[in-house]
Amino acid sequence: GGTALDAVEAAVVVMEDAAVFNAGHGAAFNAAGGHELDAAIMDGRTLEAGAVAGVTTIRNPVRVARGVMASGDFVLLQGDGADAFAKAKGYETVPQSYFGTDQRRQMLAEMKALAAKGQAERANEAQKHGTVGAVARDRHGNLAAATSTGGYTNKPVGRIGDSPIVGAGTYANNATCAISATSKGEFFIRKVLAHEISARIAYLGQSLERATNDIVMVELPE
Ligand code: ASP
Protein backbone atom coordinates (compact mmCIF):
# COMPACT_ATOMS: atom_id res chain seq x y z
CA GLY A 1 0.00 0.00 0.00
CA GLY A 2 2.97 2.36 0.13
CA THR A 3 4.42 4.39 -2.71
CA ALA A 4 6.96 3.20 -5.27
CA LEU A 5 9.20 6.05 -4.16
CA ASP A 6 9.19 4.92 -0.52
CA ALA A 7 9.81 1.33 -1.62
CA VAL A 8 12.92 2.05 -3.70
CA GLU A 9 14.38 4.29 -1.00
CA ALA A 10 13.76 1.67 1.71
CA ALA A 11 15.23 -1.14 -0.41
CA VAL A 12 18.38 0.83 -1.21
CA VAL A 13 18.86 1.85 2.44
CA VAL A 14 18.92 -1.84 3.43
CA MET A 15 21.59 -2.52 0.80
CA GLU A 16 23.61 0.57 1.76
CA ASP A 17 23.68 -0.72 5.33
CA ALA A 18 24.77 -4.23 4.28
CA ALA A 19 28.53 -4.74 4.08
CA VAL A 20 28.34 -7.03 1.05
CA PHE A 21 27.33 -4.35 -1.46
CA ASN A 22 29.32 -1.53 -3.01
CA ALA A 23 27.21 1.25 -1.48
CA GLY A 24 27.22 2.89 1.95
CA HIS A 25 28.89 0.43 4.38
CA GLY A 26 31.06 -1.75 2.10
CA ALA A 27 31.56 0.90 -0.60
CA ALA A 28 34.49 0.61 -2.98
CA PHE A 29 37.72 2.45 -2.15
CA ASN A 30 38.98 5.10 -4.55
CA ALA A 31 42.63 5.28 -5.65
CA ALA A 32 43.57 7.35 -2.58
CA GLY A 33 42.06 4.79 -0.19
CA GLY A 34 39.02 6.96 0.52
CA HIS A 35 35.32 6.76 -0.29
CA GLU A 36 33.25 9.06 -2.51
CA LEU A 37 29.65 7.95 -2.86
CA ASP A 38 27.02 8.66 -5.51
CA ALA A 39 23.24 8.11 -5.34
CA ALA A 40 20.04 9.15 -7.07
CA ILE A 41 16.29 8.69 -6.83
CA MET A 42 13.57 9.51 -9.37
CA ASP A 43 9.79 9.70 -9.24
CA GLY A 44 8.25 8.37 -12.46
CA ARG A 45 4.95 10.12 -11.79
CA THR A 46 6.31 13.67 -11.70
CA LEU A 47 9.80 13.23 -13.24
CA GLU A 48 11.19 14.85 -10.09
CA ALA A 49 14.65 13.62 -9.23
CA GLY A 50 17.36 14.12 -6.63
CA ALA A 51 21.00 13.05 -6.51
CA VAL A 52 24.24 13.42 -4.60
CA ALA A 53 27.72 12.82 -5.98
CA GLY A 54 31.14 12.46 -4.41
CA VAL A 55 29.84 12.58 -0.84
CA THR A 56 32.14 11.43 1.93
CA THR A 57 30.28 11.52 5.27
CA ILE A 58 26.66 10.54 4.56
CA ARG A 59 25.63 7.17 5.96
CA ASN A 60 22.73 6.70 3.52
CA PRO A 61 23.28 8.72 0.35
CA VAL A 62 19.93 7.62 -1.14
CA ARG A 63 18.08 9.28 1.74
CA VAL A 64 19.85 12.57 1.06
CA ALA A 65 19.16 12.19 -2.68
CA ARG A 66 15.50 12.03 -1.70
CA GLY A 67 16.01 15.15 0.42
CA VAL A 68 17.57 16.93 -2.53
CA MET A 69 14.55 15.97 -4.61
CA ALA A 70 12.22 17.23 -1.91
CA SER A 71 14.03 20.57 -1.85
CA GLY A 72 12.45 21.24 -5.23
CA ASP A 73 15.14 23.76 -6.09
CA PHE A 74 17.98 21.64 -7.45
CA VAL A 75 18.52 18.09 -8.67
CA LEU A 76 22.20 17.24 -8.12
CA LEU A 77 24.45 18.27 -5.22
CA GLN A 78 28.09 17.22 -5.06
CA GLY A 79 31.02 17.01 -2.67
CA ASP A 80 31.33 19.26 0.36
CA GLY A 81 28.10 21.08 -0.49
CA ALA A 82 26.15 17.84 -0.45
CA ASP A 83 27.79 16.71 2.79
CA ALA A 84 26.94 20.08 4.36
CA PHE A 85 23.35 19.90 3.08
CA ALA A 86 22.98 16.47 4.72
CA LYS A 87 24.37 17.69 8.01
CA ALA A 88 22.22 20.82 8.04
CA LYS A 89 19.10 18.75 7.34
CA GLY A 90 19.89 16.30 10.15
CA TYR A 91 20.77 13.21 8.11
CA GLU A 92 23.10 10.75 9.82
CA THR A 93 26.78 11.36 9.11
CA VAL A 94 29.62 8.90 9.76
CA PRO A 95 33.44 8.89 9.66
CA GLN A 96 35.06 7.54 6.48
CA SER A 97 36.11 4.42 8.39
CA TYR A 98 32.44 3.39 8.53
CA PHE A 99 32.36 2.69 4.78
CA GLY A 100 35.47 0.50 4.55
CA THR A 101 35.51 -3.28 4.99
CA ASP A 102 38.42 -5.73 4.94
CA GLN A 103 37.02 -7.31 1.80
CA ARG A 104 36.98 -3.97 -0.05
CA ARG A 105 40.48 -3.17 1.21
CA GLN A 106 41.63 -6.47 -0.22
CA MET A 107 39.96 -5.62 -3.56
CA LEU A 108 41.76 -2.27 -3.64
CA ALA A 109 45.09 -4.04 -3.16
CA GLU A 110 44.21 -6.50 -5.94
CA MET A 111 43.13 -3.72 -8.30
CA LYS A 112 46.28 -1.71 -7.63
CA ALA A 113 48.40 -4.81 -8.31
CA LEU A 114 46.60 -5.42 -11.60
CA ALA A 115 46.86 -1.73 -12.57
CA ALA A 116 50.61 -1.75 -11.82
CA LYS A 117 50.96 -4.58 -14.34
CA GLY A 118 48.79 -2.70 -16.86
CA GLN A 119 46.10 -5.37 -16.49
CA ALA A 120 43.28 -3.43 -14.78
CA GLU A 121 40.82 -4.73 -17.37
CA ARG A 122 41.40 -8.28 -16.08
CA ALA A 123 39.66 -7.51 -12.77
CA ASN A 124 36.44 -9.40 -12.21
CA GLU A 125 33.06 -7.83 -11.50
CA ALA A 126 33.28 -8.48 -7.74
CA GLN A 127 36.64 -6.72 -7.53
CA LYS A 128 35.31 -3.60 -9.25
CA HIS A 129 31.56 -3.23 -8.95
CA GLY A 130 28.50 -4.08 -6.82
CA THR A 131 26.36 -0.95 -7.11
CA VAL A 132 22.86 -1.34 -5.71
CA GLY A 133 19.55 -0.25 -7.16
CA ALA A 134 15.82 -0.75 -6.95
CA VAL A 135 12.84 -0.11 -9.18
CA ALA A 136 9.20 -0.37 -8.16
CA ARG A 137 5.67 0.01 -9.45
CA ASP A 138 3.01 0.69 -6.83
CA ARG A 139 -0.69 -0.12 -6.83
CA HIS A 140 -1.44 3.25 -8.41
CA GLY A 141 0.80 2.42 -11.37
CA ASN A 142 3.50 4.89 -10.30
CA LEU A 143 7.10 3.97 -11.04
CA ALA A 144 10.28 4.92 -9.17
CA ALA A 145 13.98 4.12 -9.38
CA ALA A 146 16.93 4.55 -7.01
CA THR A 147 20.63 3.75 -7.27
CA SER A 148 23.54 4.00 -4.80
CA THR A 149 27.23 3.26 -5.25
CA GLY A 150 30.79 3.72 -4.14
CA GLY A 151 31.76 3.83 -7.83
CA TYR A 152 34.41 1.31 -8.84
CA THR A 153 37.43 0.13 -6.91
CA ASN A 154 40.55 2.27 -7.46
CA LYS A 155 38.60 5.00 -9.30
CA PRO A 156 40.35 8.36 -9.56
CA VAL A 157 39.61 10.88 -6.80
CA GLY A 158 36.79 13.16 -7.96
CA ARG A 159 35.43 10.75 -10.55
CA ILE A 160 31.63 10.69 -10.70
CA GLY A 161 29.81 7.76 -12.29
CA ASP A 162 26.49 7.19 -13.99
CA SER A 163 24.43 6.43 -10.88
CA PRO A 164 23.69 10.07 -9.89
CA ILE A 165 23.26 11.22 -13.50
CA VAL A 166 19.56 11.24 -14.29
CA GLY A 167 19.01 9.44 -17.59
CA ALA A 168 22.33 7.60 -17.45
CA GLY A 169 22.32 5.20 -14.47
CA THR A 170 18.95 6.12 -12.99
CA TYR A 171 15.63 7.00 -14.63
CA ALA A 172 11.90 6.58 -14.03
CA ASN A 173 8.93 7.67 -16.10
CA ASN A 174 5.40 6.37 -15.61
CA ALA A 175 4.91 6.47 -19.37
CA THR A 176 7.69 3.99 -20.05
CA CYS A 177 9.85 2.29 -17.42
CA ALA A 178 12.03 2.58 -14.32
CA ILE A 179 15.74 1.76 -14.56
CA SER A 180 18.71 1.42 -12.24
CA ALA A 181 21.98 0.45 -13.91
CA THR A 182 25.21 -1.19 -12.87
CA SER A 183 28.60 -1.71 -14.57
CA LYS A 184 31.29 0.74 -15.77
CA GLY A 185 29.42 4.02 -15.58
CA GLU A 186 31.33 5.79 -18.32
CA PHE A 187 29.59 3.68 -20.98
CA PHE A 188 26.20 4.39 -19.47
CA ILE A 189 26.84 8.14 -19.40
CA ARG A 190 27.98 8.22 -23.05
CA LYS A 191 24.94 6.28 -24.22
CA VAL A 192 22.59 8.12 -21.78
CA LEU A 193 21.52 4.53 -21.28
CA ALA A 194 18.49 4.65 -19.01
CA HIS A 195 16.84 7.47 -20.92
CA GLU A 196 17.72 5.84 -24.22
CA ILE A 197 15.77 2.73 -23.21
CA SER A 198 12.85 4.90 -22.12
CA ALA A 199 12.99 6.86 -25.40
CA ARG A 200 12.93 3.67 -27.49
CA ILE A 201 9.79 2.56 -25.68
CA ALA A 202 8.18 6.00 -26.08
CA TYR A 203 9.17 6.81 -29.65
CA LEU A 204 9.65 3.43 -31.33
CA GLY A 205 7.01 1.55 -29.40
CA GLN A 206 9.55 -1.10 -28.45
CA SER A 207 8.92 -3.43 -25.52
CA LEU A 208 11.08 -2.97 -22.42
CA GLU A 209 12.76 -6.28 -23.19
CA ARG A 210 13.55 -5.35 -26.80
CA ALA A 211 14.78 -1.83 -25.94
CA THR A 212 16.99 -3.10 -23.12
CA ASN A 213 18.38 -5.95 -25.17
CA ASP A 214 19.20 -3.66 -28.10
CA ILE A 215 21.07 -1.22 -25.90
CA VAL A 216 22.75 -3.46 -23.35
CA MET A 217 23.52 -6.53 -25.45
CA VAL A 218 23.98 -5.03 -28.91
CA GLU A 219 24.99 -1.34 -28.76
CA LEU A 220 26.87 -1.17 -25.46
CA PRO A 221 29.49 -3.77 -26.33
CA GLU A 222 30.27 -2.05 -29.67
N1 ASP B 1 28.04 2.11 -12.27
C2 ASP B 1 28.90 2.34 -11.16
C3 ASP B 1 29.83 3.48 -11.49
O4 ASP B 1 30.36 3.52 -12.58
C5 ASP B 1 29.74 1.17 -10.77
C6 ASP B 1 28.98 -0.12 -10.56
O7 ASP B 1 27.91 -0.31 -11.12
O8 ASP B 1 29.45 -0.94 -9.79
O9 ASP B 1 30.05 4.31 -10.64
List, for residues 190-222, the tens digit of each pLDDT value.
Answer: 999 999 999 999 999 999 999 999 999 998 877
Q: What pLDDT is stored for residue 121 in this prediction?
A: 80
186 Cα to the center of ligand 1, angstroms: 8
Asked whether 4 and 82 are in contact (CB, 8 A), the reply is: no
CA dihedral of 53, 112, 181, 76, whole degrees rounded to 10: 10
| Whole-number Cα distances in Å, 56 to 79, 167, 172, 173 | 7, 24, 26, 30
**Does ligand 1 come within 6 angstroms of the Cβ of 163?**
yes
Q: What pLDDT is stored for residue 129 in this prediction?
A: 75
**Does ligand 1 come within 6 angstroms of the Cβ of 21?**
no
Q: What pLDDT is stored for residue 128 in this prediction?
A: 72
Q: What pLDDT is stored for residue 221 in this prediction?
A: 77
Q: What pLDDT is stored for residue 220 in this prediction?
A: 82
Which residues does the chain have with pLDDT short of 50?
A: none
**Does ligand 1 come within 6 angstroms of the Cβ of 184?**
yes
Q: What's this model's pTM, rounded to 2 decimal places?
A: 0.96
Q: What pLDDT is stored for residue 53 in this prediction?
A: 98
Q: Report the alpha-carbon distance of residue 79 to residue 84 in Å, rounded.
A: 9
Taking the CA of residue 128 as reference, the ligand 1 atom at the shortest distance is 8
Question: Which residues pair with residue 93 across a beta bridge?
Answer: 58
Residue nearest to atom 4 of ligand 1 (CA): 185
Q: What pLDDT is stored for residue 45 in this prediction?
A: 98
**Does ligand 1 come within 6 angstroms of the Cβ of 26?**
no
Taking the CA of residue 130 as reference, the ligand 1 atom at the shortest distance is 8
Q: Which of 57, 93, 101, 131 is catalytic?
A: 131
First to last CA, the chain: 42
Cβ partners under 8 Å of residue 59, min gap 6? 16, 24, 25, 91, 92, 93, 94, 98
Asked whether 197 and 220 are in contact (CB, 8 A), the reply is: no
149 labelled catalytic: no
Question: Which residues pair with residue 30 across a beta bridge?
Answer: 155
Q: What pLDDT is stored for residue 208 in this prediction?
A: 97
List, for residues 93-105, the tens digit of each pLDDT value.
Answer: 999 999 999 999 9
